[in-house]
Amino acid sequence: MAMYSRLPGSVALITLQNPPVNALSAAVRQGIVDTVQRALKDPKVTSVVICGQNGKFCGGADIREFAGPMLGPPLVPMIHAIEAVDKPVAAAIEGVALGGGLELALGCHYRIAHSKALLGLPEVTLGLLPGAGGSQRLPRLIGLTAALDLITTGRHISAAEALKLGILDQVTDNNVVDQAVEFVRRVAGQPLDSRRLSTLPCPCPPDVDSLLDKAMVKVRQRSRGALAPVACVQALMAAASLPYTQGMEKERDLLTTLFNSGQARALQYAFFSQRVVGKWSLPSGASWDNSAARTISKAAVIGLGTMGRGIVVALALTGISVVAVETQEKQLAEASQAVPAMLQREAGRRSLATPPGVISFSSNLQDVSEVELVIEAVFEDMSLKLQVFRHLTSVCRPGTLLCSNTSGLDIDQLAAVTQSPGLVVGMHFFAPAHVMKLLEVVYGPRSSPEAVATAMQLGKRMGKVSVAVGNCPGFVGNRMLKPYLEQANFLLEEGATPQQVDEALEEFGFPMGVFRMSDLSGLDVGWRIRKEAGLTGPGVESTRTRQGRRYSPLPDQVCEAGRLGQKTGRGWYQYDGPGGRVARSDPWVHIFLEAYRAEHGLVARSIAPEEILERCLYALINEGFNILQDAMAAGPEDIDAIYVFGYGWPRHHGGPMFHAGQVGLGRILERLQHHHHNHPDVPHLKPSTLLRRLVAVGSPPVQTWREFINKERVHS
């Protein structure tokens, strides 16, 4: 709702009240309509200020209402009515003015903000466009070029940037409502025509067509297959070329199309899943409600390779002081040059609330004795990690949290060699660790709620989406990746090329297909893991069945040929040289695949993109159901957040589990049965029991699976 009060000096104050972000629910919109009418009718009122309760102006339309029928007064006429008022109306912006919140402010005649406020039109991230006049008013205010940037990226901007762009009339460090009241008193009686944005022309550069064409190409490249960014550009084309009223019609038509698309539902689901996973709970019942997190101010990182360096930077950026330990002299020297430079670059990019933490470099593990938390990031080798954990537990003060960045080794085994197994958890970062948003917090059977809470909170401080996951080989993300990679290799055996597989996946929306991705990460990573698992290496027979199941030796043979991906300039593709980034088709790979097929009596067939997608994605999804069944993830939202934030799953498809629901669980089951029938020696294609159970009860919506699984667990 909205509260009305009249301040001394003829100013009406309208306060939006809908905690926590004053979203524009039906009740709030009704409140605004009523209070604006009241201010308009009151002859003693000469000007109006609109503000939000509890230090937040407005977080936009109420996203929760999108799922149901539209009730209450619509936003567009409400904002028009405000713009038409013949008394000056100012928005007093504190905290946030986002989406419909900024659109409401754009309907006001003036905008005054606190210096710490954030503004933006993030609708594109929810699969929408600014549909309450934002796509038409903003370009009229700040010009087409700047509006294209803000609306197609959805980025939040600071008050300082908004002032520079001309969105704001004034920025203050003081009480923003007081400032706005003073402002409207000053301007009362002045003509308002030039303040009504809908009446202004849209400032466009001379090469407007080329600007719009380039913007269209850019959004199509950046978010392949996503509808909303394209619609945003189309709405801005309308702003540039049509009168306001026709532009608004175009905005409405585009919004209606987007609103009814599966993509908007997927992106709104992704918004809420990100928040659901933050409210973690473990099968033991531990959660934020009953677990206290420790505040960490001193930490250590062991091993300064690819991951360790990024983790040091991520920690230091939050103001934590870090002891960075590396035993190899050359690596230590390199890291002590590279890490401060990385930190400086990153700190320059962000506006840090606190100064970065101090980093000290050492080759001596003894130097970590005073820290509160250690993150180990040495090679993925269990015996080495056990040695490091034994050493740490003897060096560190009792009560120090010991974490491992392992990509999939057993956390419990590491905990077992320490004095306090309860204080051991996995903190699985993704490369580059100071950039990637995902953190898997891995709890073992003995990890204490306090240790999990501390790691989750530390992740949050670092700006990560932290997801609590159970301790199983590969945890959640890498466990699901295994069947996906496996299918990709089988498809090559059967006749596909790396390009065909990658193109199908990139067309689906992945930024990189599986083979391009593997070349980037380094093919030796998986090779080493397969060697450790006894699947390949000296003495292992080169057959296509290993450990009782179908196995493709293709990736091992590529590694044996010295092709380790981008780092060696050759992998599934060829590059300009070691470290090259542009993947080109390599005749060597095609000859190699032909020879391989001939050797094993395989006849290449033409494989359609649909089969590539089904085999790769449904195998991955099937493993997701197994993970839910095994309680290694608390719900489908956790899996989806992991894939969206860590593995490049296209956000507009929500995540693998959401996607399964959209495709239809019955269809996924039927296709898995079909592929498993054709490939009975591939256990990953055998439909999961949970999937079967969900289909049997009528394929309920993804939002109800968590409850369904918990109930089944209680009854079993």
Least distance to ligand NAI from the beta carbon of 311, Å? Answer: 9
From residue 361 to residue 390, what is the string marking binding to ligand NAI with x (rule CB under 6 A)?
----------------xxxx---x---x--
Q: Which of 106, 132, 302, 452 forms a contact with ligand 3HC (CB under 6 A)?
A: 132
Least distance to ligand NAI from the beta carbon of 156, Å? Answer: 29
Q: Which of 106, 147, 325, 441 forms a contact with ligand NAI (CB under 6 A)?
A: 325
Instruction: Give the C-alpha distances (Å, rounded to integers) separating 13 from 5, 50, 90, 191, 434.
Output: 5, 6, 10, 21, 44
Nearest in space to 298 (alpha carbons), one of 224, 371, 219: 371
541 a catalytic residue: no
Nearest in space to 290 (alpha carbons), one of 301, 280, 298: 280
Choose between 20 and 473: whose C-beta lies nearer to ligand 3HC: 20
| Site residues (CB under 6 A) for ligand 3HC, limited to 567-626 | none
Instruction: Give the C-alpha distances (Å, rounded to integers) separating 247 from 212, 225, 295.
Output: 16, 25, 51
| Site residues (CB under 6 A) for ligand NAI, limited to 165-204 | none
SS3 call for 434: coil
SS3 call for 318: coil
Choose between 379 and 588: whose C-beta lies nearer to ligand NAI: 379
Q: Are 440 and 469 in contact (CB under 8 A)?
A: yes
Q: Which of 62, 326, 346, 556 forms a contact with ligand NAI (CB under 6 A)?
A: 326
Choose between 166 and 578: whose C-beta lies nearer to ligand NAI: 578
Contact region with ligand NAI (CB under 6 A), list: 58-66, 303-311, 601-609, 628-636? 303-311
Q: Are 278 and 395 in contact (CB under 8 A)?
A: no
Contact region with ligand NAI (CB under 6 A), list: 57-65, 114-122, 423-431, 687-695? 423-431
SS3 call for 206: coil
Catalytic residue among 83, 94, 123, 346: 123
| Site residues (CB under 6 A) for ligand 3HC, limited to 47-106 | 59-64, 75, 96, 98-100, 103
Residues binding ligand 3HC: what is the number (CB under 6 A)?
24
Crossing angle of helices 26-41 and 75-84, in 10° steps, is: 20
Q: Which of 11, 12, 16, 21 forms a contact with ligand 3HC (CB under 6 A)?
A: 21
Beta bridge partners of 4: 14
> Is 650 one of the binding residues for ligand NAI (CB under 6 A)?
no
> Is 162 one of the binding residues for ligand 3HC (CB under 6 A)?
no
Nearest in space to 158 (alpha carbons), one of 437, 354, 350: 350
Q: What CA–CA distance (Å, rounded) separates 437 from 1?
A: 35
From residue 481 to residue 520, what is the string marking binding to ligand NAI with x (rule CB under 6 A)?
----------------------------------------
Selection from ligand 3HC, ligand NAI, none that 578 binds (CB < 5 to 8 A by kind) is none
Q: Which long-range contacts (CB under 8 A, 24 or more apart) does 408-412 make?
A: 408/380, 408/473, 408/474, 408/475, 408/478, 408/479, 408/529, 409/380, 409/382, 409/385, 410/382, 410/444, 410/471, 410/473, 411/442, 411/443, 411/444, 411/447, 411/471, 412/444, 412/445, 412/446, 412/471
> Is 305 one of the binding residues for ligand NAI (CB under 6 A)?
yes
Beta bridge partners of 301: 324, 375
Selection from ligand 3HC, ligand NAI, none that 665 binds (CB < 5 to 8 A by kind) is none
Contact region with ligand 3HC (CB under 6 A), list: 131-139, 243-251, 330-338, 437-445? 131-139
| Site residues (CB under 6 A) for ligand NAI, limited to 126-165 | none
Q: Which of 248, 304, 476, 709 forms a contact with ligand NAI (CB under 6 A)?
A: 304
> Is 275 one of the binding residues for ligand 3HC (CB under 6 A)?
yes
> Is 405 one of the binding residues for ligand NAI (CB under 6 A)?
yes
Contact region with ligand NAI (CB under 6 A), list: 241-249, 258-266, 319-327, 690-698? 319-327
Selection from ligand 3HC, ligand NAI, none that 306 binds (CB < 5 to 8 A by kind) is ligand NAI
Two tokens, residue 554: 């293709």
Contact region with ligand NAI (CB under 6 A), list: 45-53, 127-135, 262-270, 429-437? 429-437
Q: For residues 320-349, b (16+ Cβ closer than 10 Å) or e, as one string?
A: bbbbbbbeeeebbeebbeebbebbeebeee
Q: Which amino acid is at 100?
A: G
Q: What CA–CA distance (Å, rounded) separates 94 from 238?
A: 31
Choose between 52 and 308: whose C-beta lies nearer to ligand 3HC: 52
SS3 call for 656: helix
> Is 427 one of the binding residues for ligand NAI (CB under 6 A)?
no
Q: Are 320 and 360 in contact (CB under 8 A)?
A: no
The CA R_g of the chain, rounded to the nearest whole Å, is: 28
SS3 call for 629: helix
Q: What CA–CA distance (Å, rounded) separates 514 from 612?
A: 11
Selection from ligand 3HC, ligand NAI, none that 307 binds (CB < 5 to 8 A by kind) is ligand NAI
Q: Which of 13, 23, 215, 695 forms a contact with ligand 3HC (CB under 6 A)?
A: 23
The structure tokens 């960045």 sit at 405
Catalytic residue among 103, 326, 346, 440: 103
Q: What's the chain's length in residues?
A: 716
Selection from ligand NAI, ligand 3HC, none that 407 binds (CB < 5 to 8 A by kind) is ligand NAI
Least distance to ligand 3HC from the beta carbon of 255, Å? Answer: 7
Q: Which long-range contacts (CB under 8 A, 24 or more apart) does 211-220 make?
A: 211/144, 211/145, 211/148, 212/144, 212/148, 212/236, 212/237, 212/240, 215/148, 215/152, 218/152, 219/152
> Is 375 one of the binding residues for ligand 3HC (CB under 6 A)?
no
Q: Which of 126, 184, 317, 668 forms a contact with ligand 3HC (CB under 6 A)?
A: 126
Least distance to ligand NAI from the beta carbon of 354, Å? Answer: 27
> Is 593 one of the binding residues for ligand NAI (CB under 6 A)?
no
Q: What CA–CA distance (Å, rounded) separates 198 from 683?
A: 61
Residue 550, H or E segment: strand 549-550
103 a catalytic residue: yes
Q: Which of 31, 88, 107, 122 forms a contact with ligand 3HC (CB under 6 A)?
A: 122
Contacts with ligand NAI by CB under 6 A lie at 302-308, 325-328, 331, 377-380, 384, 388, 405-407, 429-431, 521
Q: Name the residues annotated as catalytic.
A: 103, 123
Contacts with ligand 3HC by CB under 6 A lie at 20-21, 23, 59-64, 75, 96, 98-100, 103, 122-123, 126, 128, 130-132, 134, 275
